[in-house]
Chain A
Amino acid sequence: MKKSLLMSVLLAATLAACSNNAVKDKPAAPVVDNSTSTQSQSNAAVNAKEGASTSGADSNGASGNPLKDPNNILSKRSIYFDFDKDQVKAEYRPLVEAHAKYLVANPNAKVVLQGSADNRGSREYNLSLGQRRSVAVKKAVNVLGAQDKQIETVSYGEEKAADCKDEACYQKDRRVDIVYEND
């Protein structure tokens, strides 16, 4: 019962993310109407309160693991930034909230937030900028109840950046990746 509720909530949350987040990360995302996504926000909150009861199933790595469900917003792991900026943009709120709720519901879960920058400018400045970005995401997740001990921040600066020549490519490198331990 709880499980099926959880699944439907998560599915709704995923759809919400797809509609909010345009299609650039996921070209194959289905088109949905916004009434579904509005609904999902309140349901997701309910899920957070019940989270403790679902953690067992998740940590067993069963097929119901929302982290591994490609239709679940939790399978989205990247937050993108503007050039030389470390503010988390509004369009990534649902994604940040979903991961925060998962961490609250699963107190043993741990994430590394890996910050990156595009390859223009200074490597050292970009290393610091990547760090600021990962810390910005950490703060957002902390505010929603995730604990410090669950979150580690690192920066790769521009060291893992692609060999970019244009903005379409640069923007993919300005990001924070959410990497779950043992995932």
Chain B
Amino acid sequence: MFKNRLLFIFLLLLPIVGKAELTVEVVGGAAQQIPIAIVPFAPPPGSAAIQQDNVTNVISADLRMSGLFRVLETRGVATQPHTISEVKYSDWTSIQAQALTIGTVETLPGNRLKISFRLLDVLKQNQLLAMEFNITQAQQRATAHRIADMIYEKLTGEKGVFATRITYVNKENGRYSLQVADADGFNAQTVVSSKEPLISPSWSPDGTKLAYVSFEKKKPVIFVQSLVSGQRIVLANFKGNNSAPAWSPDGTKLAIVLTYSANSQIYVINSDGTGLQQVSFSNGIDTEPEWSPDGSSMYFTSNRGGGPQIYRMPASGGDAKRVTFEGSYNVSPHVSTDGKLLTFIKQTPAGFKVAVQDLATGQVQTLSDTTQDESPSFAPNGRMILYATNVGGKGTLAAVSVDGRVKQRLKDSGGDVREPSWGSAIN
């Protein structure tokens, strides 16, 4: 009965650079920020000058954006070291730096660059990290993000997320476009664009594909598109609505929502569009499925008990247990990669806000200072939650740390931005 049609559509729209880019603004910060000095990288003595040093600017912006670092002004410091022998630690203790980053950048034949950097502990006067990269000019930003990730991990003990990507939908001049950008908002590329709405993008676990819902056929239909080739397939175009795709952690299946039986219910389908199976059976709305990181269970939104609440059931279907109990409206569940925290949107007297629940204790904390929040998703390291909100009548992306202390606004130059999702690390 469910005959699957796999339509291979070769998009002419291979990734093109979008005009609008996001810029990140940080509001608030951790209680104790690590003071770090980053000396602009320079060519080593006797080597040719380079065109431009974007690397240290990107590292500084990344660390500042995290809210966990205070990036110190280095101009005016007597010594500007690039190699370990040039470091005079007293210059850095005098500006209260705890960590110091130095490095060189050198032009190689074939339009390549050699970047070497070191991270130093100013107080202990020793080296924490040293690394060398041989890259193309085009890899400068990506390399800077990797260096920032290494510094972040060494000094905080957590994995960094600067070398990851996000996806979101931009609505501008009556057109919707699904974008993929670096976590700092740069390198935005259009994946697909349409006159009709695009919603619910979901990253494949390996970061090479996006599943999303497009209304281009005048009703919601789910597509899966390769970010490498731009090629896409119709994953689900059954009678009624096809929506809310979510990849299984192993990338072989997706949970989707169909209204085949008039009511939104959850189904599982193979990533090539075969093998459809219904897994939720209720008389209410069941939607927004989200797999647990081990793939054994599924979180989802259901109004089976009256208002919408979040439930958990075995991934193959079966008894559902209610997970959220505070308030009358809790939707859009997303689980942290360690499986310990659940983020969702909670209706409060002050509006719709990002909340986080400790799944072991059930304790709930409302995190955001915005009031029209939607679509929360964890950063791969579980520290920040990216979400959509509305500021001044315009759709905006924002992020908040799980302790609520660090708040970021991702400002877009042009359109109405919504439906964000944080992906895995760039390969």
Contacts and interface: CB of A to CB of B under 8 A. Distances in A.
A49 interface: no
Given A121-B329, A124-B287, A131 B301 contact: no
Given A84-B329, A159-B197, A123 B263 contact: no
Interface in B161-210: 197, 199-200
Interface string A141-183: 0000000000001111101000101000000000000000000
A121 B220 contact: no
Contact of A165 (B218, B393, B418): B393
Contact of A129 (B285, B374, B419): B285
A122 B419 contact: no
B241 A123 contact: no
Contacts, number: 87
A127 B285 CA distance: 10
Contact of B263 (A121, A127, A135, A156): A135
A151 to B, nearest CB: 12
A3 B176 CA distance: 48
A127 B393 contact: no
Interface of B: 197, 199-200, 215, 218-220, 240-241, 243-244, 257, 259, 262-264, 285, 287-288, 301, 303, 307-308, 329, 331-332, 345, 347, 352, 372, 374-375, 393, 418-419
Chain B's interface: helix, strand, loop or mixed, by majority? strand
Chain A's interface: helix, strand, loop or mixed, by majority? mixed
Most buried by A among B241, B352, B418: B241
A131 B372 contact: no
B372 A124 contact: no
Given A121-B374, A122-B374, A123-B200, A128 B393 contact: no
A166 to B, nearest CB: 12
Contacts of B200: 123-124
B261 to A, nearest CB: 10
Given A128-B285, A128-B287, A131-B241, A121 B197 contact: no
A120 B352 contact: yes
Given A131-B259, A135-B262, A124 B288 contact: yes
A132 interface: yes
Nearest to B197: A159
15 contacts: A121-B329, A121-B331, A122-B308, A124-B243, A125-B301, A128-B287, A131-B240, A131-B259, A131-B263, A131-B264, A132-B264, A153-B240, A154-B219, A155-B259, A156-B215
